[in-house]
Amino acid sequence: MKTSRNPDTVHKPVAPYVHQVEVTGSNRWLTLSGQLGMEVDGEVPEQPLEQFELALENIKRNLEAADMQINDLTKMVFYLVGEFNAEKRRELIADFLDGHLPCTTMIYVVALAAPKFKVEIDAWACKECS
């Protein structure tokens, strides 16, 4: 079972996320490598927000391949290089999560694996076994 909580003893979340997700019982865990904003054919858009949206789509595709959904996500870590339109970034995340609130962390870094990459997103998911 997954239980999401925002303890009263910790500040309220400053964005759409929860402070903790506790997992108990028999579950399947999925850990993803950092997902880049890269197409299946290896194409990488120049625009950072396009990469951001594509990285989210790659997370969704990974979840589907493991018979999981967005609401199985428990944690996401966003690594960003350079300036991003914060309002648009939040909108993309909110649309992607569609009301689901995993734990999240956002980190601005100097560089990723290659200069063309402006976004990488780590994700963890958990699904209860029947």
Cα–Cα distances in angstroms (integers) from residue 41 to residues 16, 26, 36, 37, in the given order: 32, 37, 13, 12
33 SS3 class: strand
d(CA 74, CA 60): 13
Q: Which residue has the higher pLDDT, 52 or 28?
A: 52
Q: Give the pLDDT confidence score for residue 24 in this predicted structure.
A: 80
List domains and CATH numbers for the chain: 2-128 (3.30.1330.40)
Q: Give the pLDDT confidence score for residue 2 in this predicted structure.
A: 81
d(CA 56, CA 54): 5
**pTM tops 0.85:** yes
Mean pLDDT of 55-62: 95
- Residues 37 and 16: beta-carbon distance below 8 Å: no
Indicate whether 71 pLDDT > 80: yes
Lookup: tokens for 42: 């290896």
* Angle in degrees, CA 34, 37, 43, rounded to 5: 125
Give the type of residue at 92: L
